[in-house]
């Protein structure tokens, strides 16, 4: 099974799965020339915000080498000073209970619309998987700052891009 694709979201914090094809993610993390930035801004403010996030966000390691090798926690340094995923939470994300259907990968982000937490499972979840998933989400959500409201996207293209982010 493939893990989640890289995250594209307007956010203050994101967890990106490493080791997957990063075509668009790699493009977003590079410094775009000013003329390209201007074209992206003219095309969509939402896309401009996504490019800005991946350009300006910094990695915040959890301190657990196995987790840090599989995931990258990105955040704006002015909003999140330390990783919202500490060693204990990282261990819990990697080691699901024996009776639960363990996730292949976990994807999390907070944007102006709320906190999003997804897990990719190899099969149908059981009750142990659901309750463990909710405990992980609650543990992470409690460590995040409140979202910053942003104005709604303007124009057709901006709303379309926001729909997929």
Region of poorest pLDDT, from 7-11, 67-71, 99-103: 7-11
- Name the pTM for this structure: 0.66
The answer to whether the beta carbons of residues 90 and 64 sit under 8 Å apart is yes
- Residue identified by tokens 């819990």 is 92
Query: In this model, does residue 10 exceed pLDDT 80?
Result: no
Q: Where are the domains of the chain?
A: 13-164
Of 98 and 115, more confident: 98
Q: What pLDDT is attached to residue 101? A: 93
Long-range Cβ contact pairs of 68-72 (< 8 A, separation 24 or more): 69/18, 70/17, 70/18, 70/19, 70/94, 70/105, 71/15, 71/16, 71/17, 71/18, 71/106, 72/15, 72/16, 72/18
Average pLDDT, rounded, for the chain: 74
């Amino acid at each position: 099974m493939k893990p989640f694709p890289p995250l594209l979201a307007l956010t203050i914090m994101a967890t990106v799965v490493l080791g997957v094809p990063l075509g668009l993610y790699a493009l977003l993390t590079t410094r775009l020339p000013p003329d390209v930035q201007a074209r992206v801004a003219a095309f969509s403010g939402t896309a401009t915000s996504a490019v800005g996030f991946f350009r300006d966000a910094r990695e915040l390691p959890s301190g657990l080498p196995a987790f840090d090798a599989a995931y990258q926690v990105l955040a704006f340094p002015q909003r999140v000073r330390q990783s919202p995923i500490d060693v204990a939470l990282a261990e819990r994300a990697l080691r699901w209970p024996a009776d639960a259907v363990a996730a292949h990968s976990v994807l999390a982000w907070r944007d102006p619309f709320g906190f999003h937490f997804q897990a990719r499972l190899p099969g149908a979840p059981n009750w142990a998987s659901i309750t463990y998933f909710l405990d992980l989400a609650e543990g992470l959500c409690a460590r995040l700052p409140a979202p910053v409201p942003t104005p709604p996207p303007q124009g057709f293209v901006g709303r379309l891009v926001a729909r997929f982010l």
